[in-house]
A and B are shown apart, each in its own frame.
Chain A
Amino acid sequence: MRSCSPCAACKLLRRRCAEDCIFAPYFPSQDPHRFAIVHKVFGASNELPVDQRGDAASSMVYEANARVRDPVYGCVGAISYLQNQVSQLQMQLTVAQTELLRIKMQQDSPSPPYLAPTNIFNNIDSQPEYLNFPSSTNVIQDPSLKTESIWT
């Protein structure tokens, strides 16, 4: 049985909080700031299935907080920052995978033909490199790392 006090939403909107108030489960009276910030940023309410309303309310609180902290960019600032991080990590991963491939190919390559049997102790440090660095098309790329521009 729900408490008799109005939920945070009805308290702010100054209306009677009905038994089946749609906001009451997600905006309890003990946390008035939560609804206040959502109401400040979001105007309209969307119809959603009951089992998704909790997540929707939480994501709206998150977005509203982000918008209050950064009135110009809101969540888009965070998205831009994260996209940059993904790009940087992808570049680092590409470099590392290229290096690993180079080392593997170096280890798999056969012994140089000019090694004389009597001089095997002298050629350890002078082995030539038969390797060519692989082109960018051969580098392994994870398709799940690709992201679209934030403005599309």
Chain B
Amino acid sequence: MSFGRCAACRYLRRRCTQDCILSPYFPSNNPQRFASVHRIYGASNVTKLLQRLPTHLRAEAADSLYFEAQCRLEDPVYGCVGLIFLLQQQIHSAESQLFKTQAEIAVMKSQTQYPQTQPFRAISGSNNLLLQQSDNDANL
């Protein structure tokens, strides 16, 4: 049984009770984690948010709050929304490249299927040319 305070209660300078809602997700060995979250959301908001969730989902929620808080601290203007914009741009760029590549494949496949030189036509064409040549000679 640990008698130490969790990172949240240590930061807030209060007694850490047995049923402290924040202690499972903000252990004392990682004070920076709670500091980031508190700086962006505030302890009261974090507590209320976690209280509204079933226990088995609170760890994921705390992790995502920490991630978003870190994004907001690194980019105070856009936070993790900046990352969303970047990913959307990457999707748009990848889709454009994919469509372009698929179009090139379609063009090349059609060129392979219907090549320019046709041996049958070349021979029959040359016969026609010979015939055409003799007509021209007759007309001179």
Contacts and interface: CB of A to CB of B under 8 A. Distances in A.
Interface stretch (B15-23, B25-33, B82-90, B125-133): B82-90
Contact of A96 (B67, B83, B101): B101
Interface stretch (A10-18, A24-32, A66-74): A66-74
Interface in A95-152: 96-97, 99-100, 103-104, 106-107, 120-121, 142, 144-145, 147, 150-151
Interface in B40-70: 40-45, 49, 52-53, 57, 60-61, 63-65, 67-68
Given A96-B101, A145-B94, A46 B120 contact: no
B77 A72 contact: no
A44 B53 CA distance: 22
B12 interface: no
Contacts, number: 130
Contact of A42 (B41, B57, B83): B41
Nearest to B58: A72
B68 A63 contact: yes
A103 B87 contact: no
B64 A78 contact: no
B14 interface: no
Instruction: Give the size range of B's interface with the partner.
Output: 35 or more
B97 A75 contact: no
Given A52-B77, A72-B60, A100-B101, A86 B90 contact: yes
Q: Is the interface of A mostly helix, strand, loop or mixed?
A: helix
15 contacts: A42-B45, A43-B42, A43-B44, A46-B76, A59-B79, A62-B81, A72-B60, A75-B79, A76-B67, A83-B87, A89-B98, A100-B108, A103-B109, A145-B90, A147-B90
Given A92-B98, A93-B94, A100-B104, 13 more contacts: A43-B43, A48-B77, A56-B76, A71-B53, A75-B80, A79-B80, A90-B94, A93-B97, A93-B101, A106-B112, A142-B97, A145-B90, A151-B63
Interface of A: 40-44, 46, 48, 52, 55-56, 59-60, 62-63, 67, 71-79, 82-83, 85-86, 89-90, 92-93, 96-97, 99-100, 103-104, 106-107, 120-121, 142, 144-145, 147, 150-151
